[in-house]
Amino acid sequence: MQEHLLSIILFTPLVGVLVLMFLPRSQKTLVRLWANISAAAGLLVSIPLIVNFNRNADGMQFVERMEWIPSLGVQYLIGVDGISVLMVMLTTIMGFLAIFSSWDAVKDREKEYYAMFLIQQTGMIGVFISMDFLLFYVFWEMVLVPMYFIIGVWGGPRKLYAAIKFFLYTLAGGVMMLLGILTLYFVHFGQTGRYTFEIAELMKLNMPLGLQQWVFWAFFLGFAVKVPMFPFHTWLPDAHTEAPTAGSVILAAVLLKMGTYGFLRFSLPLLPKASSDHTIVTVLATLSIIGILYGAFVSLMQKDWKKLVAYSSVSHLGFCTLGIFALNQAGIAGSVIQQINHGISTGMLFLVVGVIYERRHTREISEYGGLAHVMPNYAIVFAIAMLSSAGLPLLNGFVGEFTILQGAFDANKTWAAFAVLGVIFGAAYLLWLYQRTMLGEVTNEKNKGLPDLNWREWAVFLPLIIWAISIGVYPKPYFDILEKPVAQIVHRVHQTANTEAAIR
Amino acid sequence: MNFLDLIWLIPILPLCGAAIMLLFGRNLSKTVVSIICPGAVLGSFILSLGAVIQLAGLKERTHQVVLFEWLPQLHVDFGYLLDPLSSVMILVVTGIGFLIHVYATGYMAHEHGPRHGGYYRFFGYLNLFVFFMLTLVLANNYPLLFVGWEGVGLCSYLLIGFYFHKKSAGDAGKKAFIVNRIGDAGFILGMFFLFQVTGSLRFTEVTDALRSARFGPEVTHFGILSLTALLLFIGATGKSAQLPLYVWLPDAMEGPTPVSALIHAATMVTAGVYMCARSNALFALTPETSHIVAAVGACTAIFAASIGLVQNDIKRVLAYSTVSQLGYMFLAVGVGAYWVGVFHLYTHAFFKALLFLGAGSVIHAMSGEQDMRNMGGLRNKIPITFGTMFIASLAIAGIPGLSGFFSKDEILWQTWSAPELGSKVLWVVGFLTALMTAFYMWRLMFLTFFGEPRMDEKTKHHIHESPKAMTIPLMVLAGGSVVAGWIGMPKVFGENGFMQGLEHWLAPVFESGKEVAHAAAEHGAAAHHDTTMEWVLMGVSIGAALSGIFLARHIYLRMKAEDRPTGGFIYPVLLNKWYVDELYDFLFVNGLSKGGGTLMAKFDTNVIDGGVNGTAWLTRMVSRISMWYDTWIVDGLVNLTAFTVRALSFPVRFLQTGFLQSYALVFMAGVLGIFGYFWWGR
């Protein structure tokens, strides 16, 4: 079983979908139950992965290799390193919680809804474990479709606009990325006479800086749209706002991380010269910092609760990309940890919005106020989510943010000086949101009788809260598991940069 | 029992209290809550006492307990450090913290709220605060100190906003948190610089590195070290409410009074002073930054005192007084007299906590009234409150023999005489502040306790002395306000191990400050012990204290309200706090944040999405043109071709019927034809 563990993790949700298709549409409870069981099974099979993962070993683990399209050199090649393991765990956990949280929320076409989520699970896991570039691309695009339907079918009033915007934005980026991939593919053929999409092989390429830069920008468009980095972020608020709660959770917690993961897995190791090129690094860091501040400022002025959280994602993801392009151990390790943290805290924030949306069917902040009186437990959960997002020490957000800032500081003090301002504004928009919704007197009659969290909602929040605290108090396991793979990336980027300098 | 290895329990006990309250509090009765929470802090106090006594027995007076590795990238642990400095702090925090907890059981007794939610929630937060405060002072490295630093900020936020149905309370809490965050941004950067310079963030290693390294003037004079120290100090100005970030503290008085006493007077707000004292090795190396610290401290002291002169809300007077006294502490730190800063922190904790708790008792008696203009003549009605506040007011005014006198006088003397860093100008500022302090404190006393009662009949009828749970802490603190200063007497009073006990106790922590001072003394600062001058200055400052008190007595006791001097144009300026809040609102809240936010949101919807939607529109237009082209040109051509083919194929069409039978018939005919050809043709 060990040798096919990754495949099992990858295809468990799909098996779930297969069975789901044969369930009668009218048996709603059965459909829900089965979807939850499939997601739970997906989570359970991923546990042996983290248990058996050897964090002291170099390179990929649990590798599986099969020919897929031999004539084109495409393989079914999957494997994990420390970064992938964390991302897979994030996917299986958040995926399960998202599906679990939909129990009461979705009352329309359940069968298709859950099928979409499960297909998406497979797609996302595939993205994080593919070690063949074309396989990666297949999974990458595969994720797009279910999310398109989730937004477009189960979304809010402007769902069609949002869904199409999401689809076209990411598809356009994806096509550019494909061009980049094909360039690498043909250059590799030119140099070795062999067709392959295997990442380890492509890493051996010796490409001149100029070409690397072109490919870098092609990748950049694909990844930056997904992250999203300023100025490619405007699909995000619409998609988040219109998506159903669980869709927003997955979108924020996992889908966006595909972009940052792409930078880490492909841009940096495959294009080390371009990635350490001064202009490129400066541009990327600047865009990240603009994202941090811009996202925070725009959050401040939102009147829509969900949109505010969506813009806060832009700000947080700015930290993640800044960490990556600090190109040092602290920056990148901090970035990966922050990606997980963002999944937890923003996931929670979206769930928080979902809870109230289910009760009141409005996201207007001005509709609320004084909810802490009627829903005290809800207020506590929201407070924890907010503080985790604002980076309060002993909660998860601080560890990532602080380590990223350290990395940014080591790379360039000016970056750190600007990025640290995000810490101030992050607190500002969240606290103001909290005040407007939770504190004060209950002014709106409709809010007077709202029920507090039920057990199912507690069951979703509780694991996330525990996770948030555990990372905040004891983040060492995460740093340990990331040490090797991050060191490898850093080494690769700097080694090339150094040899380059030596030649000059 | 080895208390030294148990120091980690000191913060953990209140954490357990907080956890119990926040998880199960709503099922507990008030009695149980009032046993668990103060009990947890008392437990910490006993453990602290035991640990400090054992620490005194050690030769090298430092002891570290490391729990686990926390942030590997910065090589910092979750570890606690007990040394003379942190031992003073934990005793203040747990000792005074315990008294305030006891007081709060009385003060908050009438607190209800949903499912009597107010009571357990209040104590849960208060215990949580004590946990974070103890983590702050016991941390053995900067990031862990920062954990406590942010944690106390959180608790402050929660407790200021305790009455969260009031908008003003929510606003004040938010303001406190955000203004603190501004300072924190500086603190974070400061830590990174420090890590870069010294390669560590553990206190002991940082101090060793700074003391052993030989830095050139390019590093210490307006160099990287100066910047590092300045950034840390910016953090301190946020937490300790110094110019320009002091604005949150007066608003923080929205919280319940025990909170004002514990957090916003005795402990949390002194964290900045503690942090600078902890970083003394750094500040001692950077004279320019130290000058800035001293100047900011002195300016804050006189600025806040000036506002305190005219406030009418009893808690606001005390709040500005706290800002002003914190300024004194920074003045001491800035002139290199670190131990004196800590000394004033420690005496101030007694008398200012007492003043706040006393004010709370007054408010309690007055059924919630806080405006001093509606008080008066309370001294006979609530004698214990009056008596204890009387002592505290003497102490803060600087009447000889009481604790405040010794610490304040030492600050002024050090400001005058400290080699290199001392300054006569700052002494004058400090002196004027002392005069103003005595005046506003005694204005408060006369307005509240003396003269004719000015409250309405209902309130008057209701006035009563507070319960024992409140008066006993007042009395204990009053005792402390008298004797606390006796371990830091000036050397001109005589020298022995008790009279300068605190200085000796703290000496190992502040060694480096001494070294710098000695180095400076070598090149000719002879004023180091000018005994005559010290006596003269002491006399002058006692004179200031007395004249302040008598001036207040003259104006607020002897004069009728309408005869009192109005102060001309300066009065409204002071009453409105120099309009600083308005300025900040204009510049930062409405200007930068809201203005910038709106602008960027517009940019998003109009420019970027305009571009996106524009592209979509363009695509649609192109599609339309393509469609027209397709329908009329391409399809036209295709149709034309089809038509041509159709026309040309006219004769053949009858063959292509699509009926299998006809095909079979033709097929058969063909086969027969071929057969016939071969048969007959050969």
Q: How many CB atoms lie within 10 A of CB A253?
A: 29
Whether pLDDT at B313 is above 70:
yes
Q: What is the pLDDT of residue B527?
A: 46
Nearest CA in chain A to B157: A431
Q: Are B351 and B482 in contact (CB under 8 A)?
A: no
Whether pLDDT at B352 is above 60:
yes
Q: How many CB atoms lie within 10 A of CB B138?
A: 28
What Å distances lie between residue B448 and A308, A319, B445, CA to CA? 48, 53, 5
**Mean per-residue pLDDT, B127-154:** 93
Gap from A266 CA to chain B (nearest CA, Å): 24
Q: Which of A372, A402, A407 has its CB closest to that of B164? A: A372
Whether pLDDT at B404 is above 60:
yes
C-alpha distance across the termini of chain A, in Å: 51
Q: Report the distance separating Cα A245 and Cα A102, nearest Å.
A: 8
Q: What is the pLDDT of residue B655?
A: 65
Name the DSSP letter for residue A258: H
What Å distances lie between residue A32 and A26, A44, A94, B99, CA to CA? 11, 18, 17, 56
- Tell me the pLDDT tens digit for each residue of B639-675: 888 888 878 877 666 666 667 777 787 788 888 888 8
Query: Averaging pLDDT over each range in A130-134, B485-489, B532-536, which range is the top one?
Result: A130-134
Contact between chains at B164 and A403 (C-beta distance less than 8 A): no
Q: What is the pLDDT of residue B612?
A: 80
Say what the pTM is: 0.89
- Contact list in A for residue B179 (CB cut-off 8 A) is none
Q: Which residues contact A448 (CB under 8 A, 6 or more apart)?
A: A374, A442
- Contact list in A for residue B590 (CB cut-off 8 A) is none
Greater confidence (B573 vs B333) lies with B333
The answer to whether A68 faces chain B, any CB pair under 8 Å, is: no
The answer to whether A326 faces chain B, any CB pair under 8 Å, is: no
Contact between chains at A424 and B178 (C-beta distance less than 8 A): yes
Gap from B158 CA to chain A (nearest CA, Å): 10
Gap from B178 CA to chain A (nearest CA, Å): 6
Q: Report the distance separating Cα A273 and Cα A201, nearest Å.
A: 17
Determine the residue type at B57: G
The answer to whether A399 faces chain B, any CB pair under 8 Å, is: yes
Angle (CA) B192 B196 B199, round 5°: 110
Whether pLDDT at B325 is above 90:
yes
Gap from A165 CA to chain B (nearest CA, Å): 9
Contact between chains at A330 and B73 (C-beta distance less than 8 A): yes
Whether pLDDT at B682 is above 70:
no
- Determine if the peptide bond prior to B467 is cis (ω within 30°): no
Contact between chains at B600 and A399 (C-beta distance less than 8 A): no
Gap from A75 CA to chain B (nearest CA, Å): 37
- Tell me the pLDDT tens digit for each residue of B241-296: 998 898 888 888 888 889 998 888 889 999 999 999 999 989 988 888 999 999 99
Question: Considering only residues 255 to 314 of chain A, which have any Cβ-Cβ distance to chain B shorter than 8 Å?
Answer: 294, 297-302
Q: Looking at this predicted complex, what is its ipTM?
A: 0.91
Contact between chains at A334 and B146 (C-beta distance less than 8 A): no
Would you call A132 helix, strand, or coil by DSSP? strand
Residue from A153, A177, A401, A175 nearest A270 by CA: A177
Contact between chains at B161 and A439 (C-beta distance less than 8 A): yes
Whether pLDDT at B523 is above 50:
no
Can you give the pLDDT of all 504 residues of chain A as single tens digits?
A: 578 899 999 999 999 999 988 888 888 889 899 999 999 999 999 999 999 998 888 888 899 998 888 888 899 999 999 999 999 999 999 999 999 998 888 888 888 899 999 999 999 999 999 999 999 999 999 998 999 999 989 988 888 888 888 888 888 888 889 999 999 999 999 888 888 899 888 888 888 888 999 999 999 999 999 988 988 888 898 899 899 999 999 999 999 999 999 999 999 999 988 888 899 999 999 999 999 999 998 898 888 999 999 999 999 999 999 999 999 999 999 999 999 999 999 999 999 999 999 888 888 899 898 888 889 889 999 999 999 999 999 999 999 999 999 999 999 999 999 999 988 888 889 999 999 999 888 888 888 888 888 899 999 999 999 999 999 999 999 999 999 999 999 998 887 766 655 555
Q: Are A219 and A182 in contact (CB under 8 A)?
A: no
Contact between chains at B71 and A399 (C-beta distance less than 8 A): yes
Q: Report the distance separating Cα A42 and Cα A329, nearest Å.
A: 31
Q: Which two tokens stand for residue A264?
A: 């880490």
- Contact list in B for residue A333 (CB cut-off 8 A) is 73
For an interface test with B, give the residue of A229, A236, A420 to mutate (most B CBs within 10 A): A420
Q: What is the pLDDT of residue B524?
A: 44
For an interface test with B, give the residue of A402, A474, A478, A481 to mutate (most B CBs within 10 A): A402
Q: Which of B73, B174, B600 has its CB closest to that of A406? A: B73
Gap from A315 CA to chain B (nearest CA, Å): 13
Residue from A87, A89, A84, A97 nearest A40 by CA: A97
> Out of A210-224, B155-169, B485-499, which region has the weakest mean confidence (pLDDT)?
B485-499
For an interface test with B, give the residue of A161, A406, A415 to mutate (most B CBs within 10 A): A406
Q: Report the distance separating Cα B652 and Cα B656, nearest Å.
A: 7
Gap from A392 CA to chain B (nearest CA, Å): 7
Whether pLDDT at B525 is above 50:
no
Q: Which two tokens stand for residue B349?
A: 């904790």
Q: How many CB atoms lie within 10 A of CB B245?
A: 23
Residue contacts between A and B (CB atoms, under 8 Å): 131
Work out whether the CA dihedral A245, A247, A252, A254 comes out positive or negative: positive
Q: Report the distance separating Cα B260 and Cα B275, nearest Å.
A: 21
Q: How confident is the model at residue B112 (pLDDT cuts 50, 70, 90)?
A: low
The answer to whether A191 faces chain B, any CB pair under 8 Å, is: no
Contact between chains at B178 and A435 (C-beta distance less than 8 A): no
Q: How many CB atoms lie within 10 A of CB B659?
A: 9
Q: For chain B, what is the largest distance between any 2 Cα atoms, rounded to a whole number of angstroms?
A: 154
Q: How confident is the model at residue B526 (pLDDT cuts 50, 70, 90)?
A: very low
Q: Report the distance separating Cα B45 and Cα A365, nearest Å.
A: 45
Residue with the two structure tokens 């300066």: B570
What are the beta bridge partners of residue A69?
A: A74
Tally: H helices and E strands in chain A:
22, 2
Contact between chains at A427 and B178 (C-beta distance less than 8 A): yes
Q: Which of B78, B174, B192 has its CB closest to that of A406? A: B192
Residue with the two structure tokens 């924020």: A252
Tally: H helices and E strands in chain B:
30, 2
Q: Are B205 and B186 in contact (CB under 8 A)?
A: no
**Mean per-residue pLDDT, B575-601:** 79
